[in-house]
Amino acid sequence: MRKFRWQLLIILLTGLVVGLLLVFQQGANSPEITGTPNPVTGGIYTEALVGSFLRLNPLLDRYNQADKDVDRLLFNRLVRFDSSGMPQPDLAETWSYSSDGTRFTFSLRANAYWHDGHPVTAEDVVFTIGLLREENDLIPADLRAFWSEIQVNALSDTLVEFALPEAFSPLLDYLGVPLLPSHLLGNLTLAELVDHPFNTSPIGTGPYKFNRFLVKDGVISGVDLLPNEDYYFGRPYIDEVVFQYYPDMRAAWTAYQGGEVDGLAGVTLDILPEVLAEPGLNLFSTREPRLSMVFLNLNNSAKEFLQDAEFRQALMLAINRQAILDQVMLGQGILANGPILSGSWAYYPDQGSYPYDPDAAIQRIAALGITRAETGALVTAEGVEVRLVLLSPDDDTHTRIAEYIKQGWESVGVAVDVLTLPYAEVVARLDARDYDAALVEIDLSGTPDPDPYPFWAQSQAQDGQNYSQWNNRSASEYLEQARVTNDYTLRAKLYRNFQILFHEQLPSLPLFYPVYNYAIRDTIRDVTIGPIYEPSDRLNNINRWFILAGNTPEGE
């Protein structure tokens, strides 16, 4: 089995869809609630989505967040994940695995039905996974390769088995794909599904079912959903959910002010001050599944000083990360201590941190025998100048962050040249291992399993995503063992050991996690948002939301 996950990509800090640093809490402007009202059925919730409709099909919505948000309410997966990334029952009520970890058996819920009343069966699982194997560019090549090595067998109407060539504990992460109905689509290929009428009248299993499109001036302007009366987690309280499409967040904010919508997904910085000042509007914030990182090329023969952990620690101590958050991110970020997302079940909170301490950085550099030449430049004992080229994507945010890093490193004597390049060229340099240091963002969206193997294992140093080429046998052994055990307690211990070793060796420099904002009218109750693994996770518990009776804004 291939030892990587296709979802792990390096991307830009685009859009700055971030929010308050008050993570996992309601905004400070939220009204104090002195009592807990009882949930009541009824009402309409309308949310603004930035984007437009393309097709409502969970296998074809990968590159359209607006479609993904609607699909989250229409379709379900075998397993879902809580805010810590732990798998929970969804369409599969229970599951088990063989002692060698190569066979997983899932038992489907007996009370799970498609919106047309047809029961969910194991054939739906076999059909959906089969589509992921097809030679079609709509499915990433790595994902196709992954599923091509796994056999999926329907043992009965409600039992399905996955047979793996070898143990692979992150399998559940891949089962986050929503199912499609084989009784309606089972004779179609993925290519035939692209323009199929199903995409405009979808049949799913989720808490809401498709009702109709809203059309304005001949263009689809929204989607109207009605509750699934037979939803196995219970009928939703809210009687109707409407998603309205807008070209940007400013237009969505104008719609909220005009009473057209109740919720804003992904509040951006340009409207954040106005949102914070708006009475009757709650703001929820959470950690995004993204990590800003400076990769260091440890195998650069011209910069052998990067191979010394003490020098890398000095580079970290010299970066004023809090200033970056305050001045560039406007406070909308959380300092990162390691390569695993905070809030994950695998995150080790006591791994340690590197506070901004330029004096300590200078002392560590001096202890390595690095001295200042008559020219004023730092040089190693071999006479090599301590100079780095810092690659950065050429967008404004990355450029500003790179300048703060440059200032910090230069303040302790390290000479720095910032080279800004288009995103594709930065990635090409990383792939070729042709760089000294590179400022990037690791996107962990859609991957609740914390498996850090792709970025830090020895086997990934040459052709994989171990761009730093960290060659540490102990770290790799921890990651390899964690990949073949399904005991979460043991996996957590292995990842704890890995994070401690990462902190000591610091093969690259974790900077911060950006923050995601969600604004919603305060008459919508029981909204809870923990750490998310993709923006649609904000809707995970929408079937438990309800509208406070008697306080619905006029006109709704």
**Burial class of 137 by CB neighbour count within 10 A (0 to 12, 13 to 18, 19+):** exposed
Cα–Cα dist 316/551, whole Å? 51
Local structure of residue 326 (DSSP, 8 states): I
Say if pTM beats, i.e. exceeds, 0.75. yes
CA atoms within 13 A on the CB side of 117: 0
pLDDT recorded at residue 551: 45
- Among the listed residues 292, 302, 318, the one whose alpha carbon sits nearest the alpha carbon of residue 435: 302
pLDDT recorded at residue 550: 57
For residue 546, the cross-strand partners are 525
Tokens at residue 203, please? Answer: 């049949």
Question: What structural domains and CATH numbers belong to the chain?
Answer: 79-196 (3.90.76.10), 290-514 (3.10.105.10)
Cα–Cα dist 51/461, whole Å? 38
Which CA distances in Å does 530 have to 155, 261, 516? 36, 23, 11
pLDDT recorded at residue 17: 33
Pairing of strands 44-50, 263-265: parallel
CA angle 521, 523, 528 (to 5 degrees): 75
Pairing of strands 509-521, 290-296: antiparallel
Length of the chain: 556
32 CB neighbour count, 10 Å cutoff: 4
- Per-10-residue mean pLDDT of the chain, 556 residues long, equals 38 34 36 54 96 97 96 98 96 97 97 98 98 93 94 98 97 95 97 97 98 96 98 97 98 98 94 94 95 97 95 98 94 95 97 97 96 91 95 96 98 97 96 97 94 97 96 98 97 98 98 96 94 95 89 43
pLDDT recorded at residue 37: 64
Q: Are 59 and 131 in contact (CB under 8 A)?
A: yes
CA angle 455, 327, 358 (to 5 degrees): 70
String of DSSP letters for 174-216: HTTSPP--HHHHTT--HHHHTT-GGGGS----SSEEEEEEEEE
Our separate counts of H helices and E strands in the chain read: 16, 23
Cα–Cα dist 421/419, whole Å? 6
String of DSSP letters for 401-412: HHHHHHHHHHHT
Cα–Cα dist 409/403, whole Å? 10
Helix (H, G, I), strand (E, B) or coil at 331: coil
Extended strands (E) in 368-436 = 371-372, 378-379, 387-393, 415-421
Tokens at residue 27, please? Answer: 């905004």
Local structure of residue 51 (DSSP, 8 states): S
Amino acid, res. 457: A
Extended strands (E) in 299-359 = 333-335
